[in-house]
Structure 1
Amino acid sequence: MSVYSEYVPAKRGWILGMTIPQWIVMALCMLSVAAAFSRGAWGTVAVMLLGWLVLGLLMLVPVRGRSAFGWVAAATSHTLASVTGLSAWRSRAASGKAGDADVPDLPGALTSIEVHEGPPAGPEMRRTALIQDHVTRTWSVSASVSHPGILLRDEPERRGRAIGLTSLIDQMAVGEMVSEVIAIVRTIPDDGAERAQWVAENAAGDAPPGALRVVGDLEEALTGVSVRHESFVTAVVEESALAKPAREAGRGVAGRGKVLADVTAEITGALLGGVGVEAVRWLTSPELAVATRTGFAPGDRAAIVDALAERARNPQVNADVPWAQAGPSTASAAVRHYEHDAWHSVSVTLQLPDRGAAMGALLPVLTPSEPEERRSLAVVWPVTTLQQADREIRRSEAMADLSDGFNEKLKRTSRAKDRRAAQRTRDLDVKQAQGNSLTAPHAIATITVPKSRSIADAGRRLESAVRRAGFAPLRLDVSHDVAFCASVVPMGLNLARKGTL
C-alpha cells in the first residue's frame, strides 16, 4: 500500500509555536506586568497576569480550527449579514428582473465571477470559457476529465500515478504561470438518464413481454446501486502573472485567452501522460454553465440529458442553460449548513493524519450512502515558485532551529511529534535540491441532500466517512456557502486565497 507521510505543517511559529505578531503582543503585555511588578503593585500584577493568561488563551488556543478571536469575528460577520439580509440571496430571474441571459447570476463568493469566451482552438474550433474573478484578480480555465481511478491498480502503477501528479505540480512551479491546480470530483447515484435514452432508441418492438420485464427489473436494480462520477480540473492564473504575457499576445481578453490556451495545452499533456487521465475536455461557456447548474441542483441533470438527446433529433430544441439561470433561485447561508433551492449542503475540511495517508483512502468520502445524496471533494494544490519555495524553506528551517534553541534554554523536552515535524522541515531543503516543488494542498468535502432529508444526519454521515478514511473532519461552520462553491462548482475558488472569505 502506498502511504504518503512526508508532509510538514503549512505554518510554523517562530517561538514556542507563536508567530511574530502573536509573540510581540504577548511580550508587550508581559512587559506591562513586569512594570507593575517593579512598582510593587501586587494587586495590579495579579489582575494583569490573569488578563495576560486569558489573552493568550483567546489568541493562541485553537477551537475547531479557529482561535476565539477568529470565532468572534466570524460570528459577528455572520450575525450582521443575517440582520441586514445579506446572508439570503435571490436570483434576478426569481425576482422578476431577468437581465442579459449571458451574464452570470450567482450567489455569494461567485458574485464577482465573469465568464468570457476564449479564442477558437483545435480541430473543433472550441472556445474555452475564461473565468475572471474581479475580487481575487485571477483567471481560471476548467476541464472535464475522465480517469479510470486507482482502486484496481497495483502498487507500481499507483506510485506511477503519484509521480505523474508530482511532475505536474513541479512543471507548473517551473513555469511560474499557474498559481493553483484544483481537482473536483462529484459523485451521485445514477439517475439512469443515458440508459433510458439508449433503451428508447434500441429497444426491439417484437421483444417478448417476459424478457422486457426481466430487463426492466435488472435496470431498476442496477440503477439503484450505480454511482456516477464527474471530475473537473481547474487551473488558476493570477492577473499579475498573466498581464505581461497577455500584452505581448494582443492585450485584453483575447490576449489572455491565447496565453491560457498555452497553459491548457501544457496541462493536457501532463494529465494524459503520467497522471493517467483518459480524456480531457476544456469546458466552453455553455458546458461550464451546465456544470454550475448541476452543482447547485443535482436533480436537474436528467432533464438536461433528455433535452440534449432531443436536440439531436430536433435542432429547434433549446438544451442550453443560460448563465442567468445557472445558479440557484434562492440561497441562504446558515451557521451549520448552506441552503440552495430544494437542497442543502454541509462542508468539512480534511486534516491529514500524522501517520500518513494511503492512496485511495478517500473512497468512503466519495461514496453516497443514501438515495439522492451527492458527495463532492475538492483538492487544491497551491503552486509555489522556486524562489518563493526557497524563501519559505529557509524561514521554516530558521523557525525550527529557533524553536529547538528556546526549548533547550528552557529545559523543555520536545514531543516526538514536534521533533519529527522539525526533521521533515529540514529535509525540505534536500528535496528542493533534487528538483521537487513546494506545495501545501488542502481538501474540502461536501455532502448535498434534498431539503426533505435531515441535513444534520447528512453531516454526521459525511464526518463518519471522513473518519473511516483515516482523516479528521473539521466542519466549516459559518463558511459553508463559500466552502460549497469551492468544492462543488469548478470556478477556481479557494478558501485559502486572500479575498475569498
Structure 2
Amino acid sequence: MSQNTSQNRAEGELRPVKFSRLTRRGILLGLSIAQLVTLSVGIAAVVWAFYAGGGMLLAYTAPVWAVAAVLTWVPIARRPIVEWIPVGFWWVWKNTGGQALYRRRIVAPRPEGTLALPGDMARLREYTDPTTGAGMIHDPTAATLTVVVSVTHPAFVLLDPGEQERRVASWGRVLATVCRSGRVSMLQVLERTLPDSGSGLAEWWASHGTGDTSWAATTYAELIDRAGPAGERHATTLSLSLDMHAAARQIRTAGGGIKGAAAVLRQEMSTLIAALRSADLAPSAWLTCGQIAVILRSAYDPAVAASLERHGELGQSLATAGPVAVNESWDHLRTDSAHHAVLWISEWPRSMVYPGFLAPVLLSTGIQRSFSLLCTPMRSDQAARDIRKKKTEYISDAHQRQRIGQIEDASQTAEFQDVLQQEADLTAGHGVLRYTGLVSVSASNAEDLDAAVSAIEQAAIQASCETRLIVGQQAQAFTAAALPLCRTI
C-alpha cells in the first residue's frame, strides 16, 4: 500500500533532468586536427634544426616553432588561434568578393518558383502540395523538403507539476517518433516574439461591441483601430524536413521527383500531427506558401510585422518575402528595418534542472527575439556506431595520458559517463538527437541591440546556460535562428 502511494506521488512530481556535456574531445590528447597539424610543423622544425646544425639553426627556426606553439595552444575567446583561421579566411573572402552585402534587384525578373532570399538560400524552391495545400520548401543542393506547422499550447510555467511532467513525457514520445522514422533530416522548434497588432482586440469588439453611432462606441472603435502594436505575443512553429537521400527508395515508389517526395513527406506529416495531438498540443493546418512568406518577411523586416498580421492579404508571396538589403558585419547583421545578432547556446545546464529552466529566456519582455531549437535525429545503427567510436577514443586517450603521466581531468571523466548514459538509453529503446540552440535578437538600432543582447545573456545565466555570440557567420546563423526553414550553420 505504501509502495503504491509513493509511486503515485513520484508520478505526480516534476522530475529534474540533466544534459550531456558539450564534447570537446580531439584526435589525440584532446587536440583537434588543426592543432595537430600546427604542432607537427613546429616539432618537425625543431627536430630538423637539432639534427642539422644544433643551436644556431634552432634559433633561426624559432619563428616557425614559436608561431606553431602559439597557434596551437594560445586561445582567443576560449578557442585556439588555429581554429580561428578558417573563420577569418572565410570572412575575408566574403568581404573581398562582395558577399557580405546583398541588394535586391527590384526590376530584374526572378525564375518562377524561387525564393527571393540572399546567400545560399537563393537556391530554395517553393512547391505547393496539391493534396494538403501545404507550402513545401525544396533545397535541391541539400536534397531536403521542408514543411511548417503552427502550434498552440497553454503556458507551461502555469501548469501544476504533475501536468508539466505528463507533457514533458508526451513531448519525449514525439521526439522518439521522429527518431524512429529514419527519413527525417531535422525537426526545428521556433519560438518567436511578435508585436501584438491588436487584431484580437478588434475581433472581440466586432463580435461583442455595440456598433452604434454613439460617441462612446465611435471613440472606442477609433482607439482600437489606432492602437497598433500594444504588447507582445508568442508564436511557435514546428518545421519538419525530409531527407530525400534517405527516402530515395520510397520516393521512387511514389512516382519520383518532387511529387514523390511530397507523397513521402505527407506520411511523416500525418505521423507528426498524430504525435502532437497525443501530447495535448494543438497544431494548425500546415502553413501555405503565403503564410511562410509572412514569417520570412516579418523576420527580415520586423517593422511591418504588425501590418502584415492586420491585413492578411498582404505579403502572401514568397517571391517578395526576402529582404531588400542586407549588410553583414563581424558580429551582427543589418536587414531592412532592424539590426540582428545571433547567440549560440554553447553549454546547456550541467546540473540537474527542471524542464521549465528556459523560462528566463523565453519569457523576457521588451526584447524582440527568436529562439530556435534544431533537433537532428540519428538512426539507431548510426548512433550506436558513434557511441562506440566515442568510447574507443575516450579509452585510448585515457591510456595515452596514463602512459605520459598526465593527470585525468574531471571534465573528461564526466563526458565519458555521458557517453555511457547515452549507450544505456539507446539500449533501452530511446532515440538519440543532436540539439543546437540559437537565439536571434533584433532591435531598431545598434545601441538597442547591444542592450538586448546583454539582457538575453543575463537571462541565459539565470537559466543555467552559457551563450556565445556567433562571429564571422552572422548571415548563416540568422537564417538558422530566425527562419523556419531547417537551416544549419
The 5 A counterparts of 1:16-95 are 16-19=29-32, 22-23=35-36, 26-27=39-40, 29-39=42-52, 41-45=54-58, 51-52=64-65, 54-59=67-72, 63-64=76-77, 66-93=79-106
User: Aligned residue for 1:196?
Assistant: 202
The 5 A counterparts of 1:335-484 are 335-351=330-346, 352-370=348-366, 373-451=367-445, 454-484=448-478
Q: Partners in 2 of 1:39 and 1:483 — Cα distance?
A: 49
**Equivalent AA in structure 2 for residue 465 of structure 1:** A
Change (3 A) 1:40 1:131: same
Q: Partners in 2 of 1:160 and 1:59 — Cα distance?
A: 48
The 5 A counterparts of 1:103-118 are 103-118=114-129
Structure showing greater relative contact order (alpha-carbon pairs closer than 8 Å, 6 or more residues apart):
1
Q: Deviations over 1:381-422 (max 9, x none)?
A: 111111111111101111111122122222222232222222
Equivalent of 2:324, from 326, 329, 341? 329
Shift, 1:264, TM fit: 0.6
Are 1:234 and 2:229 an aligned pair?
no
**Equivalent AA in structure 2 for residue 240 of structure 1:** H
Residue identity over aligned pairs, in percent, reads 22
Equivalent of 2:139, from 130, 133, 144? 133
Contact 1:2 1:158 survives alignment (8 Å): no
State which drifts further: 231-240 or 70-79.
70-79
Shift, 1:141, TM fit: 1.6
Q: Across the two proteins, how many residue pairs are aligned to each other?
A: 475
Q: Partners in 1 of 2:179 and 2:232 — Cα distance?
A: 35
- Secondary structure (helix, strand or coil) at the match of 1:494 reads coil
Q: Deviations over 1:20-60 (max 9, x none)?
A: 67546635643553354345613434565774454244246
Q: Partners in 1 of 2:437 and 2:425 — Cα distance?
A: 23
Contact 1:89 1:331 survives alignment (8 Å): yes
Change (3 A) 1:67 1:119: farther
Change (3 A) 1:25 1:223: closer
Q: Deviations over 1:433-469 (max 9, x none)?
A: 1112222211000111123863322322232222232
**Equivalent AA in structure 2 for residue 229 of structure 1:** H
TM-score calculated relative to the size of structure 1: 0.85
> What's the C-alpha RMSD, in Å, of the aligned pairs?
3.0
User: Aligned residue for 1:260?
Assistant: 265
User: Aligned residue for 1:311?
Assistant: none
Change (3 A) 1:58 1:207: farther
Change (3 A) 1:323 1:464: same
Are 1:185 and 2:191 an aligned pair?
yes
**Equivalent AA in structure 1 for residue 301 of structure 2:** A
- Secondary structure (helix, strand or coil) at the match of 1:181 reads strand
Q: Partners in 1 of 2:339 and 2:160 — Cα distance?
A: 38
Q: Partners in 2 of 1:491 and 1:111 — Cα distance?
A: 13
Q: Deviations over 1:185-232 (max 9, x none)?
A: 0113423133234425643145976798799999999974x4211111
Equivalent of 1:269, from 265, 274, 277? 274
Q: Partners in 1 of 2:226 and 2:353 — Cα distance?
A: 37
Shift, 1:337, TM fit: 1.0
User: Aligned residue for 1:313?
Assistant: none
Q: Partners in 1 of 2:262 and 2:120 — Cα distance?
A: 23
Q: Deviations over 1:351-381 (max 9, x none)?
A: 22322554222222234543xx421000011
Contact 2:113 2:125 survives alignment (8 Å): no
In structure 1, stretches of 5+ residues that fail to align are 121-125, 309-317, 496-501
Equivalent of 1:302, from 281, 306, 329? 306
**Equivalent AA in structure 2 for residue 4 of structure 1:** V
Change (3 A) 1:221 1:299: closer
Change (3 A) 1:210 1:173: closer
Contact 1:143 1:232 survives alignment (8 Å): yes
Shift, 1:320, TM fit: 5.2
State which drifts further: 381-390 or 445-454.
445-454
TM-score calculated relative to the size of structure 2: 0.87
In structure 2, stretches of 5+ residues that fail to align are 1-13
User: Aligned residue for 1:499?
Assistant: none
Shift, 1:297, TM fit: 1.9
Contact 1:376 1:445 survives alignment (8 Å): yes
Change (3 A) 1:476 1:263: same
Equivalent of 2:287, from 277, 283, 287? 283
Change (3 A) 1:471 1:6: closer
Shift, 1:269, TM fit: 1.5
User: Aligned residue for 1:164?
Assistant: 170
Shift, 1:299, TM fit: 2.8
Contact 1:14 1:400 survives alignment (8 Å): no
State which drifts further: 209-218 or 475-484.
209-218
Are 1:487 and 2:485 an aligned pair?
no
Change (3 A) 1:306 1:332: same
**Equivalent AA in structure 1 for residue 286 of structure 2:** W
**Equivalent AA in structure 2 for residue 13 of structure 1:** G
Contact 1:397 1:425 survives alignment (8 Å): yes
- Secondary structure (helix, strand or coil) at the match of 1:194 reads helix
Shift, 1:262, TM fit: 0.2
